[in-house]
C-alpha cells in the first residue's frame, strides 16, 4: 500500500494499479471489479465503522482509496478543528490491513490552494434541517465541496459511506446527481459495537459512566421501531417514548426527528417510509444516530 499527498500522485497511482489489475484479470481480485476505483472518504481517527467500508470497497473494486483529510470547512469552531484526533501512522496501518491500496492524505493547501474560491452548496430541506439546523448550512457546504473534490481527485467509480450519517448521505447523493459526477454512492449499514452503540470517533471521549448512559440512544431507536411494528404511527407519541427513554439516563435530545428518508421533510405518520434521527449530548460528547422505519420494519 502507498501513501500519496497530491492529486497528481493519486491519479498516477490509481492508473498504475488499474493497469496492473487489467494485466492480471482473471487471476485474482474481486469479481467484476476490473477497471473500477472505490473511495472511502474519512477524516482519519479510523475505527471499525470505517474499516467495514474499506472492506466493502475491497469486495467491489480493483483499486481502493482511503482519503484521510481533516476538512477545515466542516468545523464551526477552530478549537474543534485543532482538537480533532490525528494519527496518520495508525490510520494508514489500519487502512492497509482492511484492504486499501492507497491512502490519500493531502494537506489543506493541496485541497484548498491559494485563490480557491468555489463552494458546492446543496440547498433546501436536506441541508436546513437536523444537523443543518444545529450546525449551520455551511457545514454541508463543507461536506459537499470536499466530497466533490475527492471524487474528482480519485476519478472514483464508487464512494462508500455509513448509514449513521444519514443526512450526509442524502446531501452527497443529491450533489452527485445534480453535478452529474459519474460515481455511485454506496451506503453501508451503521457499524455498531456489541452493546448497540453506533461506532464513532467521538466514542473514545466518553467516560465509562457516560458510555453506559449513551446506550439509551440505540435503545430509544429500537423501542421506537418496536412501537411502529406494533402499530403506533403517530410521531408525537413516538417522540414522547424516545424522550422518556433518554430522560431515564439524564439525556436531553437536541432533536428527535421523524422525516422522509429522501427529502428529510417531517412526516405526519410513520405509516410511510420514515427516518427517525436523533442527536444528543452525553456529558461533553455530541452523538447522532438513526433508524429507518419502513411499514413497521426497521433498518439501522
184 is in an annotated binding site: no
47 is in an annotated binding site: yes
C-alpha cell, 143: 461536506
Q: Classify residue 24 as left (phi > 0), alpha (psi -120 to 50) or beta.
A: alpha
User: Which phi and psi angles does 103 have, rounded to 5°?
Assistant: -105, 120
Residue whose entry in the numeric block shows the C-alpha cell 452523538: 287
Which residues, listed in sequence order, are joined to residue 4 by a DSSP beta bridge?
Answer: 104
Q: Annotated catalytic residue: which of 50, 58, 139, 239?
A: 50
58 is in an annotated binding site: no
138 is in an annotated binding site: no
Contact 140, 132 (CB under 8 A): yes
- Distance in angstroms (rounded) separating the CA atoms of residues 127 and 141: 9
271 is catalytic: no
201 is in an annotated binding site: yes
163 is in an annotated binding site: yes
231 is in an annotated binding site: no
49 is in an annotated binding site: yes
164 is in an annotated binding site: yes
43 is in an annotated binding site: yes
50 is in an annotated binding site: yes
281 is in an annotated binding site: no
Query: DSSP letters along 135-186, please?
Result: H-HHHHHHHHHHHHHHHHHHT-SEEEEETTSHHHHHHHHHHHHHHT---EEE
Pairing of the two strands 253-259 and 274-282 = antiparallel
199 is in an annotated binding site: yes
Question: Beta-strand (E) ranges in the chain?
Answer: 2-4, 37-42, 63-68, 102-104, 158-162, 184-188, 253-259, 274-282, 285-294, 297-299
Could you list the residues known to form a binding site for beta-alanine, using ranges: 74
Active site members: 50
Could you list the residues known to form a binding site for ATP, using ranges: 43-50, 162-165, 199-202
Could you list the residues known to form a binding site, using ranges: 43-50, 74, 162-165, 168, 199-202
Could you list the residues known to form a binding site for (R)-pantoate, using ranges: 74, 168
Amino acid at each position: 500500500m502507498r501513501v500519496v499527498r497530491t492529486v497528481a500522485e493519486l491519479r498516477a497511482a490509481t492508473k498504475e494499479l488499474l493497469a496492473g489489475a487489467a494485466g492480471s484479470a482473471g487471476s485474482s481480485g474481486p469479481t467484476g471489479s476490473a477497471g473500477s476505483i472505490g473511495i472511502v472518504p474519512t477524516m482519519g481517527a479510523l475505527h471499525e465503522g470505517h474499516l467495514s467500508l474499506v472492506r466493502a470497497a475491497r469486495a467491489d473494486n480493483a483499486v481502493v482509496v482511503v482519503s484521510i483529510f481533516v476538512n477545515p470547512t466542516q468545523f464551526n469552531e477552530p478549537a474543534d478543528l485543532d482538537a480533532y484526533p490525528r494519527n496518520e501512522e495508525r490510520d494508514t496501518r489500519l487502512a492497509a490491513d482492511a484492504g486499501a491500496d492507497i491512502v490519500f492524505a493531502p494537506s489543506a493547501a493541496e485541497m484548498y490552494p491559494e485563490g480557491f474560491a468555489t463552494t458546492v452548496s446543496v440547498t433546501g430541506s436536506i441541508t436546513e434541517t437536523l444537523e443543518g439546523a444545529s450546525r449551520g448550512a455551511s457545514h454541508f457546504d463543507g461536506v459537499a465541496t470536499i466530497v466533490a473534490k475527492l471524487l474528482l481527485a480519485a476519478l472514483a467509480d464508487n464512494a462508500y459511506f455509513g448509514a449513521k450519517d444519514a443526512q450526509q448521505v442524502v446531501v452527497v447523493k443529491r450533489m452527485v446527481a445534480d453535478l452529474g459526477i459519474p460515481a455511485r454512492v454506496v451506503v453501508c449499514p451503521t457499524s455498531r459495537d456489541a452493546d448497540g452503540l453506533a461506532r464513532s470517533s467521538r466514542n473514545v471521549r466518553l467516560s465509562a459512566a457516560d458510555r453506559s448512559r449513551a446506550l439509551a440512544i440505540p435503545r430509544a431507536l429500537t423501542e421506537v421501531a418496536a412501537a411502529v411494528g406494533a402499530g403506533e404511527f403517530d410521531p408525537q407519541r413516538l417522540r414522547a417514548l424516545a424522550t422518556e427513554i433518554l430522560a431515564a439516563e439524564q439525556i436531553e435530545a437536541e432533536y428527535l426527528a421523524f422525516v422522509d428518508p429522501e427529502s428529510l421533510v417531517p412526516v405526519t405518520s410513520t405509516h410511510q417510509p420514515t427516518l427517525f434521527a436523533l442527536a444528543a449530548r452525553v456529558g461533553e460528547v455530541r452523538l447522532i444516530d438513526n433508524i429507518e422505519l419502513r411499514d413497521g420494519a426497521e433498518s439501522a
